[in-house]
Structure 1
Amino acid sequence: MNQGIEVVGLYVRDQQEALDFYVGKLGFVVHSDVGNGDYRWLTVQHPQQPGFQLGLFRPGPPVHDAATAQALNALVAKGAMPPLVLTVDDCRATHERLSAAGVEFMQEPVERYGTVDAGFRDPSGNGWKLIERAAAAVA
């Protein structure tokens, strides 16, 4: 039997805004964009990881009632969800490129723990860390 994780989901307040950010600013590509009434299954992929999808999902029906959806949106907006990590070969260069594309960073590149990292949030409030691969790990 072959198993693996294929999709990890993020809650976003507006799927079109999230799509514009992840594709237009971060350089991800659309994998799936399928609607069923008010429900939209929307996933993107990093171009160098075609087997893994990031789901951009809106809290609400059929999974959540209105109160739960509102609470989830508020938690995400506050940055309460754990950050996602995007590994890069050169954190400073990636920071410059993404900043030029309009990504707003909360933390400029900083050296620590033997590497360089920076932090930003998507338009919904989901946190991201850019982490430069350690020199020994770069091949």
Structure 2
Amino acid sequence: MRIYITSVFVDDQAKALDFYTGVLGFVTKHDVPVGAARWLTVVSPERPDDTELLLEPDGHPAVKPYKDALVADGIPAASFAVADVQAEFRRLTDLGVRFTQDPLTMGTVTTAILDDTCGNLIQLAQVD
């Protein structure tokens, strides 16, 4: 068994696609119209046949309170592995990305948390 698709709820799929591809560097895997929304997934360019991230519309009434509570408590909706958190922090900061947690090393793990501009906090993690 393996993870095939996981998702983050986004308030605007077009804006999310721009951020996740144009800023974070993912590539679009699927973009299929589904009524007023889209089945919109992105993947790592290094592993295009691996786990997909669904940029899922946050229209369900339970989603906004859930997302608001996570953000208020500083809890990331997802965690992405990177080779060098410090380098990604500098690159993304230069692109105007807002971080809610600067790089922090805890034992063999270094993390940073960013705002994805679509209502979520996302953790970057480097495991040494």
Calculate the TM-score normalised by the size of structure 1: 0.78
Residue of structure 2 in register with 1:137 after alignment: none
The offset of 1:10, in angstroms, is 1.4
Identity of aligned residues (%): 35
Q: For residues 54 and 115 of structure 1, what CA distance do their matches in structure 2 show?
A: 23
- Whether the 8 Å CA contact 1:41–1:57 is kept in 2: the answer is yes
- Where in structure 2 are the equivalents of 1:38-117 lying within 5 Å? 38-50=36-48, 51-60=50-59, 69-78=60-69, 79=71, 82-117=76-111
Unaligned runs of 5+ in 1: 61-68, 135-139
- Whether the 8 Å CA contact 1:9–1:57 is kept in 2: the answer is yes
Q: For residues 111 and 36 of structure 1, what CA distance do their matches in structure 2 show?
A: 42
- Whether the 8 Å CA contact 2:7–2:55 is kept in 1: the answer is yes
Residue of structure 2 in register with 1:29 after alignment: 27
Give aligned pairs, total.
Answer: 124
- Whether the 8 Å CA contact 1:76–1:124 is kept in 2: the answer is no
Q: For each residue in 1:41-93, what CA deviation from the matched residue of structure 2 results, as whole angstroms up to 9, or x when unmatched?
A: 10001112212110001134xxxxxxxx2331232244276532212221111
Unaligned runs of 5+ in 2: none
Which one has the bigger strand percentage?
2
Aligned pair in 2 of structure 1 residues 4, 87: CA closer, same or farther (>3 Å)?
closer
**Structure 1 residue identity aligned to 2:35:** G
Larger radius of gyration: 1
User: Which region of structure 1 is more displaced relative to structure 2, 9-18 or 76-85?
Assistant: 76-85
